[in-house]
Amino acid sequence: MVGIVEERDHCVLDIHVEETDNYTLCRPSGELDAYTVGSFRESLTRLADSKHLLIDLSEVPFMDSAGLGALIGGIRRVRDNDGKVAVACSRPQLTRLLHTTGFDRIVPVAESVEDAADALHEAAETEA
């Protein structure tokens, strides 16, 4: 497990990355905004070679357009390397943002990590 903590002006973003048997889990915790997005972007860049990446946003209480842009960029890099991505998010405010922006049309968005993992598994099966 890798942990990255970025703190600027009392804004803290903690990012944990963990490998499971079936996917790589990236779990940011804290606000994802213009002040903290750099470490999130760097983490996603390091994970660009992941074949199955699950991003859990359940511990992100707020995400602005910078955070959304970093998320989309990270997903694009994983897909460019023939990887699959799914997002878990149990926060209604963020889920609404992901639906409103059409983000959920480019990657599966599930309410739980387990459901997102199932979506990754289904994507891998349809690829085989």
Our measurement of the distance from residue 49's CA atom to the centroid of its chain's CA atoms, rounded to an integer in Å, reads 14
Averaged pLDDT for residues 56-66: 95
CB 12 within 8 A of CB 36: yes
Cα–Cα dist 40/13, whole Å: 8
Nearest 5 degrees, angle CA 116-CA 30-CA 82? 40
Residues 6 or more apart from 71 whose CB is under 8 A from it?
A: 32, 40, 44, 55, 63, 87, 103
Cα–Cα dist 95/110, whole Å: 9
pLDDT digits (tens, 9 = 90+) for 11-41: 689 999 999 999 999 999 999 999 999 999 9
Stated pTM of the model = 0.89
Name all domains of the chain by residue range, CATH numbers in brackets.
2-127 (3.30.750.24)
